[in-house]
A and B are shown apart, each in its own frame.
Chain A
Amino acid sequence: MDSLKSEVAKLVEQTCKVPPIGPNDYSKLLKAMGIDSLDAASLFLAVMERYAVEVPDEQIEHLNSIDSIAAYIEARRT
């Protein structure tokens, strides 16, 4: 799970162009990292493409940190 969180953090850095994210930031809200709604759309597309998981609109509000995104992926990926 830790390596998945690290992967997601890298994905966030790349797609949202934010400064390097450390483990202490994994529980931080994406919004607090300066990630707006457009960045989030780009991030969730990257998550869907990389991990082959669906991310329905109704899930988006719950996927608001690296912790929650990694947990969502872990529960669904094959």
Chain B
Amino acid sequence: MIGIAQLASYIPEGFESNFDKKTRFGIDDAFIRDKLGIDRVSRMAAGDEPSDLCVRAFRALQQKCQADIGKVDCLVVCTQNPDGNGIPHTSAVVHGKLAAQDACAAFDIGLGCSGYVSALSIVTAFMAANGLKNGLLFTADPYSRIIDPSDKNTVLLFGDGATVTLLQPVGAGAQWVPTKFLFGTRGAQGDAINNRSGQLQMNGRAVFNFSATIVPTQIRALLEGENLTVDKVDRFLLHQGSKFIIDTLAARLGLPPEKVPNNLAAHGNTVSSSIPLLLEQVVSDAGIQTLVLSGFGVGLSWASAVLKRA
């Protein structure tokens, strides 16, 4: 069985303060702090590519553990904002920049906010099926490339960042293993988050309605299927869309606030990086044994999983 050995991340130093946008968008401090929960949104440097964010996340991983790029046999990037126009795939670019070995699978996964959970299933299953031992799952989806600076619906929310998850077999590094996944897609409502015009467009109300109704249903089904109750789960790591949606989901599921962390304030909604950024904060806490992850957004799609300490 393949599981998570370690995680690391990179958040660019550049940012835009939402407090500087109060007059432009007619919002106040209370809306920024209590509803968005986002003081500022991170912005990658001009000239950086998503692959550069991945490389920096990997350098952070090397600071934490003995991650040997020479042994990596699977390298995956989850993004919908790839380097260039997507050819070659960003995972191959990262492979080249890290000078990984030739005997290494590299492919991209094109999903947004539900991406990390789905990618975790895809990559762990792919590695297990093919006897691979050292996988790197990157997330890097810098929405700053496609955001319209005058669009209140998006420019206050999305920040840039990247994460990397080191995946290894149980007994050879894995500390956490996924025990169950559930997936969903509602393509007929995909227009609610789109990039047809070259700029991100989001129908906030449609996304809210979808998230507030679909996600609790899936999480309840996940718990029931795994014979879990809320009190047996140590943390619910929900996609960090906004404080408002996190609070709404916690209330609809009856979750104690202390079990539903959020880390939006300093960088915003980092799309597929939001869940691994939370995960990075909790995996080394010895008191935590069981986690529920749930990502939801572009597609519209949603995916949830249970992780247990190996």
A residues within 8 Å of B by Cβ? 36-38, 41-42, 44-45, 48, 57, 60
Known: A36-B35, A38-B35, A38-B244. A45 touches B213 (CB 8 A): yes
Q: Assess whether A45 is in contact with B208, with CB atoms less than 8 Å apart.
A: yes
Q: Does B204 contact A (CB under 8 A)?
A: yes
Chain A contact residues: over half helix, strand or loop, or mixed? helix
Bound Cα distance A38, B244 (Å): 8
Chain B residues whose C-beta falls within 8 Å of the C-beta of A42 in the assembled complex: 208, 212, 244, 248
Contact B204 A57 (CB under 8 A): no
**B151-170: which residues lie under 8 A (CB-CB) from chain A?**
none
Chain B CB within 10 Å, residue with most, of A42, A48, A57: A42
Judge whether A41 and B203 touch: CB under 8 Å: no
Q: Could you tell me the distance in whole angstroms from the C-beta of B38 to the nearest C-beta in chain A?
A: 13
Given contacts A38-B244, A42-B244, A57-B206, 7 further A-B contacts (CB under 8 A): A36-B35, A37-B204, A38-B35, A41-B204, A45-B208, A45-B212, A45-B213
Please measure, in the bound complex, the distance between the C-alpha atom of A22 and the C-alpha atom of B212, giving whole angstroms: 29
Bound CA span A47–B61, Å: 47
Contact A57 B203 (CB under 8 A): yes
A57: which B residues are within 8 A, CB to CB?
A: 203, 205-206
In the complex, A25→B84 CA distance in Å?
Answer: 55
Chain B: minimal CB distance from A21 (Å): 20
State A60–B208 Cα separation when bound (angstroms): 15
Query: How many angstroms between the C-alpha atoms of A38 and B35 in the bound complex?
Result: 8
Residues of chain B with a CB closer than 8 A to A37's CB: 204
**Are A36 and B205 interface neighbours, CB within 8 A?**
no
26 A-B pairs (CB sep. < 8 Å): A36-B31, A36-B35, A37-B204, A38-B35, A38-B204, A38-B208, A38-B242, A38-B244, A41-B204, A41-B205, A41-B208, A41-B209, A42-B208, A42-B212, A42-B244, A42-B248, A44-B205, A45-B208, A45-B209, A45-B212, A45-B213, A48-B209, A57-B203, A57-B205, A57-B206, A60-B205
